[in-house]
Chains A and B, each alone.
Chain A
Amino acid sequence: EAGVAQSPRYKIIEKRQSVAFWCNPISGHATLYWYQQILGQGPKLLIQFQNNGVVDDSQLPKDRFSAERLKGVDSTLKIQPAKLEDSAVYLCASNAPGPGEQYFGPGTRLTVT
């Protein structure tokens, strides 16, 4: 079974630029999550999708972050404009319906200079 795929793996941008991350969850997994992991901290949930609907985006800084999952499969997370404090690893995770395990992708390491 293929795991959660993310791209790119690394990205360096200057502040005020925009950036987008892509995630392909495990086939059949209806629930998809985006997490932000700042160095030395645990992952923090940004947004949760159930199919193509948003379940929880209470922690998403909506003035600069946006996410979509148009066909209920792949998802993109965008930051525009980026700030220095957005430097982090952005993790995508998915799980099958029900209270199952969340499977994480390898993450995208973003550096904002």
Chain B
Amino acid sequence: GENVEQHPSTLSVQEGDSAVIKCTYSDSASNYFPWYKQELGKGPQLIIDIRSNVGEKKDQRIAVTLNKTAKHFSLHITETQPEDSAVYFCAARRGGKLIFGQGTELSVKP
């Protein structure tokens, strides 16, 4: 089955810097790759997603890139702000099933 590896597990940046989180997946049939942000005491919330027929997608300060050949995808957050501090999860979907990475705890220091 699908396996998703996510790195790093923790990331600390200064406000205004960029943050990059990377994920690899194992199943080449996976075709949808969402990124979720989870704040303390809340459920995960979708922040951006990308489908397998697209290499890059951007939404304001957030971008995601996908390399199907290498089976990895990355989340890029530019101009980070303290409110970006949270746990971020990548996921890969094959059929209707989402497999999540282990999460990255992002801390943005003012």
**Minimum C-beta distance from B6 to chain A (A):** 8
A55→B100 contact, CB < 8 A = no
Answer whether A48 and B103 are a contact pair too, CB < 8 Å, given A101-B49, A106-B41, A107-B43.
no
A104→B43 contact, CB < 8 A = yes
Task: Give the bracket for the number of chain A residues in contact with chain B.
Answer: 20 to 34
Q: Is the interface of B mostly helix, strand, loop or mixed?
A: strand
- B45 cross-chain contacts in A, Cβ below 8 A: 104
**Minimum C-beta distance from B9 to chain A (A):** 8
- A43 cross-chain contacts in B, Cβ below 8 A: 44, 89, 98, 100
> When chains A and B are docked, how far (Å) is the Cα of A1 from the Cα of B40?
23
- A104 cross-chain contacts in B, Cβ below 8 A: 36, 43-45
> When chains A and B are docked, how far (Å) is the Cα of A44 from the Cα of B6?
15
Answer whether A91 and B100 are a contact pair too, CB < 8 Å, given A42-B91, A43-B89, A101-B34.
no
Task: Give the bracket for the number of chain B residues in contact with chain A.
Answer: 20 to 34
B43→A42 contact, CB < 8 A = no
Answer whether A42 and B103 are a contact pair too, CB < 8 Å, given A56-B96, A102-B98, A106-B41.
yes
- A93 cross-chain contacts in B, Cβ below 8 A: 43
Which residues between 4 and 61 of chain B lie within 8 Å of chain A, taking CB atoms?
A: 4, 6, 32, 34, 36, 41-46, 49
- B98 cross-chain contacts in A, Cβ below 8 A: 43, 45, 102
B100→A42 contact, CB < 8 A = yes
Which residues between 44 and 92 of chain B lie within 8 Å of chain A, taking CB atoms?
A: 44-46, 49, 89, 91
> When chains A and B are docked, how far (Å) is the Cα of A105 from the Cα of B103?
18
- A105 cross-chain contacts in B, Cβ below 8 A: 43
Closest to B105 in A: A40
A–B complex contacts, Cβ < 8 Å, 27 sampled: A4-B43, A31-B96, A40-B102, A41-B102, A42-B4, A42-B6, A42-B100, A43-B44, A43-B100, A44-B100, A45-B97, A45-B99, A55-B96, A56-B96, A56-B97, A91-B44, A99-B32, A99-B93, A101-B46, A101-B49, A102-B98, A103-B46, A104-B36, A104-B45, A106-B41, A106-B42, A106-B43
